[in-house]
Structure 1
Amino acid sequence: MTDSTTGTVERLTLKTQLVRFVMTGVVGAVVDFGSTYLLFLAGMGDGASKTVGFILGTLTAYLINRRWTFQATPSVKRFLITMASYLATYAVQVSLYKLSIPWLEGMDLDQFWVRAVSFVIAQGTATVLNFIIQRWVIFRS
């Protein structure tokens, strides 16, 4: 939030940033899972559909987090660093997603629930990693 008398940006507390990060993550996750599952239903494989969904969800979350959660000015350098960190967490996320699918299919779950639970496992892990990287590296307070 900007102080109207000084024009400076007030730093948000860690708790506020964390709450906003999680809320933004929910929006990004809806974009990610929604597009991943729709592409899967359209015949795209699990890996490819998860990749496209991840990219769409990542861009959504980055734009919201940069402006709302961390209140940072636009920066090509920051964007590229963020995308590099997302690339690292992408590897973790897709690996967990693809590894958990056969395990959950062995439980005789409906294909929607197999992919939904796989998504939650992968997304939860990526969310924790992303917050740590963004809060203490990219958008240092």
Structure 2
Amino acid sequence: MSAEPHVPLPVDLPVVAEQQAAVDLKTQIVRFVLSGGFSAIIDFGLYILLGIAGLPVAVAKSISFVAGTTTAYLINRRWTFQAEPSRKRFLAVVALYAVTFAVQVGINQILYVTLDDHWWRKPLAFVIAQGTATVINFVVQRAVIFKLR
């Protein structure tokens, strides 16, 4: 029996033959933006639904962030960066997402409470927070995380 702790891997998406060839930076950026857009729809939709359900803004944003970033990780690992499953990479992503969670939820909350109460307050706070986290995620994932084995 091994003494090493078991760290579960996230659900794996199937490999597609086209994904085997390395992709250039431009293609990675386009794919990252597309998968991020899809993930942001999940994030924002859940954020709004949870707000309608009466959850506090920070709680709703926290839950929606987890759903959106999990979706983004699964798509980006296979499609954007074409990386095989790795516990080391998974743990690095968890650490990165902890940082971007704090950044995104923090920026969203600060903007939400400081902006005037207009219809655009919630979407604007979301977009600025999401954009900041997206840039951080792409840079760290491309430069560090998806270089890990």
TM-score, normalised with respect to structure 1: 0.88
RMSD: 1.8
Q: Any runs of at least 4 consecutive aligned residues in structure 1 with deviations exceeding 3 A, and if so which?
A: none
The aligned counterpart of 1:128 is: 135
Shift of 1:2: 4.9
- Counterpart Cα distance in 1 of 2:17 and 2:51: 43
Identity %: 50
Question: Aligned residue for 1:61?
Answer: 72
Q: Paired residues, what number?
A: 133
In 2, Cα distance between equivalents of 1:28 and 1:76: 23
**Residue in structure 1 matching 2:46, options 35, 38, 46:** 35
Q: Which runs of 5+ in 2 are unaligned?
A: 1-15
3-state secondary structure, aligned to 2:144: helix
Point out the more displaced range, 87-96 or 76-85. Answer: 76-85
Give yes or no for the alignment of 1:109 onto 2:118: yes
Which has the larger share of helix? Answer: 1
Task: Say which structure, 1 or 2, has more relative contact order (CA 8 Å, 6+ apart).
Answer: 2
Q: CA deviation at 1:76?
A: 2.3
Instruction: Report the Cα offset of residue 137 of structure 1.
Output: 0.3
Per-residue CA deviations over 1:57-106 (Å, capped at 9, x if unaligned) read 010000000010000111222112111101101111111100101232x2
